[in-house]
Chain A
Amino acid sequence: MEKGAFMSIDAIDITKDFDGFVALKSVSLSVNRGELLALLGPSGSGKTTLLLIIAGLEWPDAGDIKIEGKSVLRVNARERGVGFVFQHYALFRHMTVFDNIAFGLTVRNRNSRPSKADIAKRVHELLELVQIERLVRRYPSELSGGQRQRVALARALAIEPIVLLLDEPFGALDAKVRKELRRWLRRLNEETGMTSIFVTHDQEEAMEIANRIVVMSQGRIEQIGKPAEIYENPANPFVCEFLGNANRIALTWTNGKMSHPAIDLDAITFKPRLHGAEHVYVRPHDIDLVKDAAGAGTVRFLSVVGPIARVDVEVMAGEKPIEVEMPAHRLQRAGLEVGVPVKLSALKGHIY
């Protein structure tokens, strides 16, 4: 595929209400040409509704959708030229892989429909692109989840869409296939420059392949930014806790200085206006653990997954333990074991 004329998309003040349940509250968003954008949020955050509205499969109660600056609300899904990949693939079960992929071309009216030979050529190009040439005569029921997803992708690409929308594209796949298809999607985006938006509730997926992430919750956009930006500087407690883990630590203030009875917080800097905040959010890998007989914490649980060691430290009886992560090789060097007393110090934290 050539680097084509792919489009920018603007959602302006989109509001959508389903019988009293507000799915989207005045959401605005600009997607640049060629961008791979993730809509990230928990279920019920409105991300899929926004995707359906961009595709023309759902209508907003208020607001506008513009593609290349032109409103498309009056253009129905059939004419919008948007490639949509459904969460459960929505393959036509009575058609072979070939007929599924060819569908978008065969339903065109006589004037714009390619010849049979051209359709076959195009389908084979797409099969090659998604690497399933040998499955061309199979039916969807004879395919694995990953193969079905590839067919769904090829089918959406067949109509040469101006933008590609994917709803939880890899949610139902096992970890290895998911990883492979993620990479494939990023490569497709890099090679073709096709504007693509995908919905996910998996922060790792969003962080790994998106150029930008839109974090959504309860029908609102919480933050928009590059993956590293959002991770490093989450705009609010929701984003902080949703993207990666964070320990919520209750604060005590004395003479303009914050403190916690068991955790050293001296390294954390904060703006004067945040004085008096109730909590600080600290990521597990931003906490330093030192074995210390006088320490206020006790190691309660240890687990090593590959290179990362996870340690749960109890700082006050009955309270949620503090989660700490460190490179696995440091665990032994630091002499950490279950039951060992430790001193905790936070290196970095977010205050709101």
Chain B
Amino acid sequence: MNRDPLPVRITLIVLAFLVMAVLIGLPLVTVFAEALAKGWDEYVLALIDKLTLSAIRLTLITALISVAINLVFGIMAAWAIAKYDFKGKSFLITLIDLPFSVSPVIAGLVFVLLFGLQGWLGPTLQGSGIKVIFALPGIVLATMFVTFPFVARELIPLMQEQGTEDEEAAVSLGASGFQTFWRVTLPNITWGLLYGVLLCNARAMGEFGAVSVVSGHIRGKTNTMPLYVEILYNEYNFTAAFAVASLLAFLAFVTLAAQSLLEWKRAHS
């Protein structure tokens, strides 16, 4: 099957494992080791701290809202791109990819410029009592911006490959637009959709840069988990910092496991 000499193969494989171990394995181990350095009690105490819980809650709320909205927008965008022909299609695809190539900090800054007190829309919103920057809406917007591509990117190739015949068949059999979507399109893209949601969620919970700019780091109010980790770390509160970080690392493991499961499911469906 492979004609490379055995030593070459072994060297390459060992090197790959070594790099992974140093770059990814070691840091992960360190996170849990540091978190538990002063024992379970300290670890648990750090986690049930009021400010920690507030950061966890904010992260969950942010992820829930932004994933839900990106789910809907992602399906809409993928549907438009995969099933219709229109001018500016490739431009739209580029636009969807933009968050991947733009630094998250810039995304955050853009929202500050738009919605901040000195921004274009800030004063108007301020007048009607709506606060975007240094509040939940800003954090959700920044997270949405950064995580937008995940669902759409996952669905576009899938829907393009499936074409429109199934939908045409459903319509010719008398199904309404909603019935067609719910009973034909959605089941066809289930696994891809879940996969996109999973990645979107992982990124939404872990996002630092964009959220950092718009959040204001108000403890107990606008601190998400990644932001709170940084604050704790800067205050030399290593145990607490790594304890919160360990939750994020744990999330990564869960994501990875779910990802493998979904890939297996998709291959077998």
B45 sits at the interface (CB 8 A): no
| Docked-complex contact B173 and A103, CB < 8 angstroms | yes
In the complex with contacts A92-B184, A94-B188, A107-B179, A78-B168 CB distance below 8 A? no
What 1/0 flags go to B143-183 for Cβ under 8 Å of A?
00000000000000000000001101111111110010001
What 1/0 flags go to B87-107 for Cβ under 8 Å of A?
000000000000000000000
Cβ of B266 to closest chain A Cβ, rounded Å? 13
* Shortest Cβ distance from B187 into A: residue: A94
Residues of A within 8 A of B169 (CB): 84, 86, 90-92, 155
User: In the bound complex, how far is the Cα of B175 from the Cα of A158, in angstroms?
Assistant: 13
A145 sits at the interface (CB 8 A): no
Within 8 A of B (CB), among A264-297: none
Residue in A55, A93, A94, A108 whose CB lies within 8 Å of B172: A55
| Docked-complex contact A78 and B188, CB < 8 angstroms | no
User: In the bound complex, how far is the Cα of B173 from the Cα of A81, in angstroms?
Assistant: 8
A57 sits at the interface (CB 8 A): yes
* Shortest Cβ distance from A88 into B: residue: B165
Residue in B170, B171, B172, B187 whose CB lies within 8 Å of A83: B172
A77 sits at the interface (CB 8 A): yes
What 1/0 flags go to A70-109 for Cβ under 8 Å of B?
0000001111111110101011111000000001100110
Cβ of A210 to closest chain B Cβ, rounded Å? 22
* Shortest Cβ distance from A152 into B: residue: B169
Cβ of B168 to closest chain A Cβ, rounded Å? 5
What 1/0 flags go to B170-204 for Cβ under 8 Å of A?
11111110010001100110000000000000000
User: In the bound complex, how far is the Cα of B169 from the Cα of A104, in angstroms?
Assistant: 10
Can you report 22 residue pairs joining A to B where beta carbons are below 8 Å apart? Answer: A55-B172, A57-B171, A76-B171, A77-B172, A78-B176, A80-B172, A82-B172, A83-B172, A84-B172, A86-B165, A86-B168, A90-B168, A92-B170, A93-B188, A103-B173, A103-B175, A104-B173, A107-B179, A155-B169, A155-B173, A159-B173, A159-B174
Looking at chain B's contact residues, the main secondary structure is helix
| Docked-complex contact B165 and A78, CB < 8 angstroms | no
- In addition to A79-B174, A86-B169, A107-B173, 20 A-B residue pairs with Cβ atoms within 8 Å of each other are A57-B171, A57-B172, A77-B168, A77-B172, A78-B172, A78-B174, A84-B168, A86-B165, A90-B165, A90-B168, A91-B169, A92-B169, A92-B170, A92-B187, A94-B187, A104-B173, A104-B174, A107-B174, A107-B175, A159-B173
Cβ of B84 to closest chain A Cβ, rounded Å? 13
* Shortest Cβ distance from A18 into B: residue: B85
User: In the bound complex, how far is the Cα of B171 from the Cα of A107, in angstroms?
Assistant: 10
Residue among A91, A104, A107 with the highest chain B CB neighbour number at 10 A: A107
Residue in A81, A90, A104 whose CB lies within 8 Å of B166: A90
Residues of B within 8 A of A57 (CB): 168, 171-172
Residues of B within 8 A of A55 (CB): 172
Residues of A within 8 A of B166 (CB): 90, 92
User: In the bound complex, how far is the Cα of B166 from the Cα of A159, in angstroms?
Assistant: 16
Cβ of B196 to closest chain A Cβ, rounded Å? 18
Cβ of B164 to closest chain A Cβ, rounded Å? 9
User: In the bound complex, how far is the Cα of B183 from the Cα of A108, in angstroms?
Assistant: 13
